Amino acid sequence: MSCFSWRYIKLVLITEHFMFRNIKIGPRLGGGFSVVLVFSMLVAGIGILRLKTVTEETRSMMDQPLRSERLVSEWNTLLLNAIQRTTSVVKSKDPELDAFLSKEAAQSSKASADTLAQVEKLLSTDDERRLFKDINDYRKKFLTVRDSIYKLKKDGNADEIARIFDAEYLPVAKATQDAMRKLLDFERDRIDSIAQHVENTAENSRQLILVFEAVILLAGISFSIMLTRSITRPIDLALKISKQVSSGDLTSTATIVSKDEVGELVMSLQKMSEQLHVIVSNVRNGADSIAIASGEIASGNLDLSSRTEEQAGALEETAASVEQLTSSVGKNAENSGKAHQLVTSAAEVVGEGGDVMSQLIQTMNTINESSRKIVDIISVIDGIAFQTNILALNAAVEAARAGEQGRGFAVVASEVRGLAQRSATAAKEIKILINESVEKVASGSKLVEQAGATMDKVVGSVQSANTLVREINSASQEQADGIKQVNQAISQMDGVTQQNAALVEEAAAAAHSLEDQAKKLKQLVSVFKLTS
């Protein structure tokens, strides 16, 4: 390819870059068609102007040279006819033919004169006028010689006619024909010159139109290439970006080189790709976070489920212990009732002590036996109180483990513990008193003389014991009520624990489902290709 072609292509690309990048497609197409139409009108105008020139030159040739040539040809024909007519008159011996030919000669002379006048009007050059003058001069001589021949013919002078015909007429006729032929050749040469000029003009016009058509074709091809490239290149870029985005590749970048509709489309696609990049990146990060969090939630739910099951087992054990405590407290209440009856009987016996001193030893023995029983009962009560205290302590610990739901149970356990401590204290005091009573009863036989004073002490002690037993009985009832409340609280805690266990299992299942969905989401998002 020549250097000119490379330069032309480079010029086309530079023109495309600076001419079309900021022009909208509508004005660009309109401008392109307008340029084509302008070029077409230019070629049409040039063709019309050149055709007008050819037409004018052709009309000029038709109006003057060609018409002159035709008139001169007619004039030459009239001359030939006149020569032949005169020759016939000279050779003829028929008077009637001579008369007819004479009449024809007159008419021919008139037609020749008219033709001569028309030819004279069309003369435009000096050469034509000179040639025409020669013809006119020879014609006058020709007419003079012809008229003399016709006159001599009328007079019948044949010898003179023959002499004039040979010596004068034929030379003048030949000279006239030669002069007319020169004018005819001149007009024909002129016609040929004008025709050649018209042909040259037409050929030049054709070549000029071909040159303009070639220039317009080259310009049109260049313009169409620039216009096509200015539209297709951004469209190809937009198509490339859309294909990359549709395939999940969000790493594409594009340089916007135009501000037309396609440039705006490429810019919108680029912004869309960037926004999708941000969204997919955030979704991917979120999916990773969700997967990690769901895994931790699932692990925590497993631990919580295990602990909840342990707590449910501990509650079952606590419920069983509380049931035993309930039974023990029931027995304690029953024994305290019996103790109350015994203390009441002892009070009655002490009241009747002054009247039945004789039965003192027997009564003392009865008191001694009752005291031992009371000691045993008090020991049982003390053991029950100790067990109740331990169970209340365990219940408080389990309530602390249960958290907010075990707060009410903790309060009840605290009350039960307080009652157990009070029962233990009362039992110890009663035990001390009963021991003292047993010692006194043992030494009663030795201290009969002090029976009155001792009886008073015994009455006071029995009254105190009666009060303490009454308090023990009341405390036992309160313990029974408290144990029932603890049992109810434990039942409620057991139900709540079972519900918690179910909820923990549901939460674990939901966490696993969330983890699976996060993994699926991560797989779906992984099809997108992102920049680092």
Give the residue extent of every domain in the chain: 11-242, 316-493
The distance from CA 27 to its chain's CA centroid, rounded to whole angstroms, is 28
Q: Is the pLDDT of residue 353 over 70?
A: no
In the structure encoding, which two tokens stand for residue 145, read together? 């010689």
Supply the pLDDT for residue 263.
67
Q: What is the dihedral of CA 397, 402, 407, 412, to 10 degrees?
A: -50
Residues 233-249 have a mean pLDDT of 75
User: Does 9 or 284 have the greater pLDDT score?
Assistant: 284
What is the pLDDT confidence band of residue 419, given thresholds at 50, 70 and 90? confident
Query: What number does CATH give the domain 11-242?
Result: 1.20.120.30
pLDDT in tens, 88-110: 777 777 777 767 777 777 777 77
What is the pLDDT confidence band of residue 506, given thresholds at 50, 70 and 90? confident
Q: Is the pLDDT of residue 47 over 80?
A: no
pLDDT in tens, 356-409: 556 666 766 776 677 677 767 767 777 776 787 787 778 777 777 877 776 776
| Mean pLDDT, all residues of the chain | 73
CB atoms within 10 A of CB 107: 9
In the structure encoding, which two tokens stand for residue 335, read together? 């024994």
CB atoms within 10 A of CB 318: 26
User: Does 515 or 14 have the greater pLDDT score?
Assistant: 515
One-letter identity of residue 242 = S
Q: What percent of the chain stands above pLDDT 70?
A: 67
Q: Is the pLDDT of residue 138 over 80?
A: yes
Q: Is the pLDDT of residue 464 over 70?
A: yes
Which residue from 412, 408, 398, 409 is spatially nearest to 310, judged by alpha carbons?
A: 398
CA 440 – CA 368 distance, rounded (Å): 9
CA 496 – CA 489 distance, rounded (Å): 10
Residues 80-87 have a mean pLDDT of 79
In the structure encoding, which two tokens stand for residue 172, read together? 């003048």
What is the pLDDT confidence band of residue 32, given thresholds at 50, 70 and 90? low
Residues 339-344 have a mean pLDDT of 66
Report residue 249: phi and psi, to 5°. -90, 110
List Cβ neighbours of 141 (8 Å cut-off, separation of 6 or more): 172, 175, 176
Q: What is the residue whose two structure tokens read 């010689």? A: 145
* CATH for 316-493 (1.10.10, 2.40.10, 1.10.1060, 1.10.287): 1.10.287
C-alpha dist (Å) from residue 308 to 127, 410, 511: 139, 18, 17
Give whichever of 127-136, 242-251, 347-356 has the largest mean pLDDT: 127-136
Q: What is the residue whose two structure tokens read 């025409």? A: 132
Q: What percent of the chain stands above pLDDT 90?
A: 0
Supply the pLDDT for residue 58.
62
